[in-house]
Structure 1
Amino acid sequence: MKIQEIQIYGFGHLNNIEIKDLSDFQVFYGENEAGKSTIMAFIHGILFGFPTKQSSELRYEPKNGSSYGGKLRVFFDGHGLVSIERVRGKAAGVVTVSLEDGTIGDEELLKQLLGNMDKGLFQAIFSFNIHGLQNIHQMKGEELGRFLFSTGTLGTETLAKTEVELQKELEARFKPSGRKPVVNEKLKAVHELSSELKKAAAKNQEYEKLSTDKERIYNEIKNISYSLQEVKNEVEKLNEWQKIHSLVKEERWISTEIELLGEDPFPARGIERLEKLNQLIYPYNAQISSLMDRIAQLKKEIASIQPKRRILEDETQLLAAIDQIPIYEQLLLEKQQSELKLVDLEEKISILNERLHLPLNEEEIFTINTNIYMKNQVEQVSRKKQKLLEVKQELEEKFREEQNSLEDIEEKVHTVETKVISAQERARLEKLVNDESEKGKIEFELTAVRDKVEYYQHSSEQDRKASAKINKQKQMQFITIGAILLILSLYGIYSQQWVLVFIGVLGSVLIVVFLGNNRSHLNGSEINQTINQLLEKEKKLVQKLESYKNSNISAIQEKLEQDNRLKEQLQLLKVKLEQQQIQYEKVIRKFEEWESEESENKERLVKLCSELNIPEYIANSFLLEAFQLIEQYKQVGREKRHLLARLENIKLEQSKITDRISFYSKEYLVDQGNDLSKTAYLLRDKLKEEHGKFIKSQEKQGKLDDLEADLSQMKQEQAHLISERKKLFEEADVVNEETFYELGNKVEKKIKLVERLADIKKQLQYSFLHEIEQERLLHIHNVDEQISQFNDKIKTLSSKLIELQEEKAATNYQIQILEEGGSYSELLHYFKQKMFELEEAAKEWSVYCLAQDILSQTIEKYKNTHLPRMLAKAEEYLSFLTKKQYQRIHLQKSGTGFLIERSDHTLFEANELSQATTEQVYVSIRLALATTLYEKYRFPIIIDDSFVNFDAGRTKKVMELLTTLKCNQILFFTCHTHMLPYFQPENVQHLHKGNVEVIS
């Protein structure tokens, strides 16, 4: 493939550009924004389609409103010079492909020429720029090796990116020693739940026993099911054997008979052929004798024939008149049919009048409008009426349902409300419960009161005196302390230290309270009063404590809890009641909408009744039927009018035919009949008779010659058939016809047996009993008895299976009760939920793992099959570019990287090389990929300033390497003047920056 001419109508800032006679190594030189990238994008766009508006690529649509697109003239091996034109159209543009032989095609033909190459692969293999080398500069470590390997396989770094992304996805989900990945977290949670589940199960011995019973029952059901299936299979085989045993026995008998008949030579279809020859030979004798008699008779007839000529002058006119007879008969038949149809139409009109029962005559009915628009309106109104009736039925049913649901919920709300405890009763019960909590306090308080009473009663007078003396001393001490605190308070007020003031006041208050208490102790009358008060308080506390003993607190608490549940149930029912009321109101609104639609449709129906002259009472039920009857009435009336006109035409045509036949009958016939067909027949017969006499003598002479020739031919054929019969006897090795028939019957019997055997085998091939089973069953004499025994066994096993299934259901129900009754079921549910989440996460991880494995296998297959040939060419290019300093490129034993071997056999990873050497490796791989694995395409290699970072020596070597690529056209784009000396001046196309805005 070679691009010879570029013609740009409008692309970016380039307009009406034409570049012809492109060379095998074509250079495009221009400053920045001169249009180099635009031309590259133009070539990609013409070959593979313009970028869509959703694409991130630039579309290069002209800003000045000129035509968008252009043309390439490309030479293809086997097709010659091809014109590819693409202009603005659908998303990717409209393409027209013109071949040298005049063939015009579109996108499909272009894909065939390009070998179904897509744009992405083309840019990855045959079109590269400086960005690919810049990627190398940005990479570190093993990323560079993976990038070079991916470039060597797909032409881009897609493979390397895919491998890294897959590894990240796998590590994000699971690591053998990780904690944060999803699968690791879920595994840990499952292990913890499993431990808790085992502890809960260990506490439930009954659950374990039921689980054991469940397993036992399951195994018994499994064994019985297997036995039952085996017995059923055996019964099925015996039933099948009853169907085919006669065929099997017949097959074995026929096989024995075929062996006994043996093999005898006999011609194929021998008897049939012999009988056919006899049938042909015997008639020849009679035919030859008959021919000889006919020849003699014919000679006498020829001598006696004397032709006469008559009425032949009017032959043409006479025959024309006679040929009108079928038309006359057809007209007569049509007349009869029309008259019958006319009677039928009159009957139909009468029936339609009766069905319509309208006070209208035929002419008035014809004036009724029955066009398509009117028919459509009638159908719409009828369908609408029917639909409204159906909607009404649905709404009435829905209304009943919603009303019943509403009443049901209201009844439930009323029932629950009657069961709820009143507020006063609930307050009383709650007070009793609260008082129960006060019982312990009362008992403690009663003990304290009794202790105080005992203390005061047993205190002696001396103790009180001693206490009074001690209290007096303490009183003096507290007075002293109070004076100090008073002074401290005054000082705090003076110095505005409010903390001192607060301490002084608080201390004074405490001293006053303490002195007051001491004084009460010193007063004896007050002590007696206190004892009396304590005794009275003790009595009240004992009475209160006795009242608590008579109340049933546990029953009250149960009643309050039940009332709480009823209140929750009542709240839920009220919410449902509100929702049901909303649904009920929706149905009411739909009824209102239905009434509006029904009224509107009623108005349309009344209007149609007026236009169609149909009474409203008929239209309410039979509008569409009445309209259809009117249509039928008009159609039948039109047919009646057409029939009446046709009957008049038939009468005129019949009269013309009758007049012509009567004329010729008077002219040529002696006896004239009244039957027109008979007259025509006599005329035709008379004409044939006279015309036949004229040519009869010549025909008989020709017939005589034919008969003589036939006689000679028959004699020859008879001799040939006799010879063929003799050969047939020789082929069967017999001497007479009787022996031949005996041998033939024997062979025919064998053929029938073989055919019957094939038919039996064809029938037996649909049986599922193989030969071993058939041989086994062949020795069974009483099949019905065995089937009966097996059926009894099936009944026994089925009964046992039903019992076990019932036992299994009971056991499952008990297990379900245990699981629902405690924490074990909650743990089990939570455990299963976590197991499900773990399985889902594991499935997701396995998908990525499988994708990574498929990618690795693909890479390994590529490394072992396709990559060695590409690497051999890449080593050749690298050795040339580096002046044999680096000679070999090795694959990593594991992974997707390369090792580069220097001339001293030192191996380097890609990241250990200098940037320039790494770029040379990249260029070698890209060029080797295009010239080896994709060599059959031979597309142009497009390079956009990919070697600007090379020094003069490396640049010279890479240019020399490019000139050796003879199978691919090179399109080189550059903006550097120091590159131009490497090219022939005639191969350099100079691009100049225009005055318009440049897009590049």
Structure 2
Amino acid sequence: MKILEIYIYGYGQLENVVIKSLSDFQIFYGENEAGKSTLMALIHGILFGFPTKHSSDLRYEPKHSTKYGGKLRVYHEEHGFAVIERVKGKAAGDVKVMLDNGAIGGEELLKNLIGNFDKSLFQAVFSFNLQGLQNIHQMKGEEIGKFLFSAGTLGTEQLSKAESFLQRELDARFKPSGKKPILNEKLQELNDLKVQLKKAAGRNNEYDELLMKKETLSREMLQISGAFQETTEKINKLKEWKRIESAVKEERWTEKTLNELGEVDFPARGIERIEKINQLIHPYKAEITSITNRVENLKEQLVDIQPDPELLTNEPVIVKLLDQIPIIEQAKMEKQQSERKLAEYDEQLSITREKLHLPLTDEEILHINTNIYMKNQVETVTRKKQKLEEMKEELEKIYQEEKKALEDIEKEVRFAENKILPQIERIPLEEQLNQKNDKKSFEWELKTIQDKIAFFQLENERKQAANIKLKGERKLQLLLFELILFGVFLYGIFTKQWFLLAVGLVGCISLVFLLVKGTKQTNEGNIQQTINSLKEKEKALQRNLQTAEYLDFKTLENRLTLDNQRRQELQLLKLKLKQQQSQYEKVISKFEDWELTAAENKEKLFSISKELNIPEYIGASFLAEAFEYIEQYKSICRDKKQLILKIEQITHQQSVVEEGISSFGNRFLQEIGHDLHNIAYLLRNKLKEEHEKLIKSHERANKLEELKADLKQKVQELELLQTEHNKLLLAANVNSEQQFYELGEKAKKREELLDRQRHLQDQLQYSFISKEEQEVYLSIHESDELIRQWEIEVQKIQVRLENNQNENAALNYEIQVLEEGGMYSNILHQFKQKNFELEEAAKEWSVFRLAQEILSNTIDKYKNVHLPRMLSKAEEYMSFLTDGSYKRIHLQKTGTGFLVERDDHTLFEANELSQATTEQLYVSIRLALATTLYEKYQFPIIIDDSFVNFDAKRTKKIIELLKSLKQNQILFFTCHNHLLSHFQREHILCLEKGTVQVT
């Protein structure tokens, strides 16, 4: 995936910023606080969601704008071009993804684009900064190898942290020779308890005897305590009886008196209630008499003021007719105006028909199709006709220009053809120039041959002297070898060693052959023959030079050069002519296309004219105007029909109102023969009078109903009072009020006794002496003497209890002495408890040990399956960065970590390398991870000033390496001006607090 454009709505200090045309290796340069970190955070935020409010990452919400978010335009290898937009919304923002094929989606489509990567994995693989290098600086020597291994597997130090965490947890729980770890401490405690358990077993028998004696004494003390408690309880109850004795006796007397009175059935507050009812009955009787008289008077008044019911029934119709009188007057004026306007419509129709001049009736014109589609067709055909006419004028103008240009070029071509040399004249010139070339070659060849003759003559003289000397020496050597080989041959014959015989024979034959050949070569190697041949060639060349004509070659060359230039000009003119002919033919082709289009438009125009019932000669020139007049005619006809209908409606409405008012005037008015307005006035007055009567009658009727309701209520209330009076007498089961009052006094006395009884019972309910015990205590007469005897007995029991307590204390002391050394059962309990704690701690240790084993197995599998391919690429990068000084990277045989091999085959652990070399190793591993194990995810690699600690040479090498990564886009952020010289200017974007500039 490659990021092509960045649009920032509002993010931190960046607002309304657009960055386009990002290259495959894009440099973002800016000083501190220019917005580099903001831009990187925006890219991460759009792809993976904005940080939440509870996150430790900055949200970069703009301070001066409500817009928050932005969008990226990217190219994806599988889905093509896409736009990813994320703005403020839910926790991580609302995202919208739009593909070029029209597909639109949200988070699911975005996950499909980014291969389900999350932010942490993306930053671990494709985004790194100074933090990774600073982690190396801050680590101890033995931790560096683990960190680099973790960076090569996950892209971060998480694997190294996990491994260190598990090892720390295991060490905190157990070490073979440790004392402080948890398991070590518990093992020591368990051993100590085991020793104490053996000692306590010997004293266990003595301890059991003391426990049995203590148990017997405890039972005896428990019995004495029970007797003490029982006696004390008796004394307390007797004292309590003395306190409540008078109240118990009074309660018994009250209960006896109530039984003598017996039950009294009397209503609650009966005396008070009957007196209150008697006070209300007399006023009610007086009010009922007064209301009855007023009802009779209102009935007499209602008879005298009754309105005319028939007139009031027809009131809505009459009022509606009376209200329409002003409308009828206005309608008369509208009718006059409509009649005038109707005459104007007839005049307009006549004028429009004359302009159309069509032999059609009104109905035929109204049935012509003038809908929106037909209007659009007319406008389209008319505009196209006008456009075709304009196009024709333009084509004619272009045709004349192209024709003139073609004729001018043809003239130039003919003029250029007349200026070049004919072929008959050019061929002799070329042949004469060729003779110049032959002369030069003859002269050069003659000089060469003469040099050769001189060389061979000198060589011949030198060799003749040397050959005489060498010939004798060589012949002597050959003869000596011949004798030796002949001796070998004879020795082989005598000793019958066939191999030596064959060697001697072959050697003799070979030396004879060489001797003969050397003589022959010497004879044939005579250089004189070569010199003679060269001299004959010299004579032939001299003859050719003598016969050659010496001409003015400079003039010939100038003529041919000029002719060549003219021929080139001719070729250019012919090419230009060919292009102009092509342009001319294009114009003619456009004329043909125009004629075809014009014919089609004309045919369509005639078709529309036929559909509109317009003659072709009118349609060809005035189709739009004719259509407009037809529309106008139809509109006037429709308006005319509506106007006629309106006049008829006004006439009908006027007649209905006049007839209705006259009819009601004859029915309800005594006077007749008045005009319409007088009848309306009299009807309104009549209605007003009847309404006044109706209002008065309603008021009287309402008042009458109120009085009747009030009378009815008073009668009902009086009846209720009488009923309540009778109920009270019935409830008391008496026949007169006198008997009711006597029974009330008796009920009052009983109520007082009941109150006193309840008071006494309230006092006695807090006593712990039950009623049965009260009956017993009523028979006791000398309670004080009895209390004194029980107190003496209590003192005796206390003395016995104190003696037992002293003996129990002595036993407890002896038992304590034994328990200070550790009683067997307690120590055994502690032993089992410690053993259980040891098992639980061992379980925790086994969990971390199992996790460490799983992690180790996972690392081993990764080392054997995936890591070799990544290491191969990391070795390639490392060798390039170090100019071949470090060529190989090996895995540690056990655990995690790397060994780096130098060019002299020396192996180094990561902590043994220099700081700069360690950083180069880290960069090589990170880049190899992105380009091998994650090669199918071609995300941009984001680098934030990760190489500021490198010297100039290392910086140059790392930048060359990044430029060679063609598979991934590189986004490089820096604030160091000296790094810009390594990049092309068109690939650098300058950031300046909210703005972006191309350097």
TM over 0.5: no
Q: How high is the TM-score relative to the length of structure 1?
A: 0.39
TM-score (norm 2): 0.39
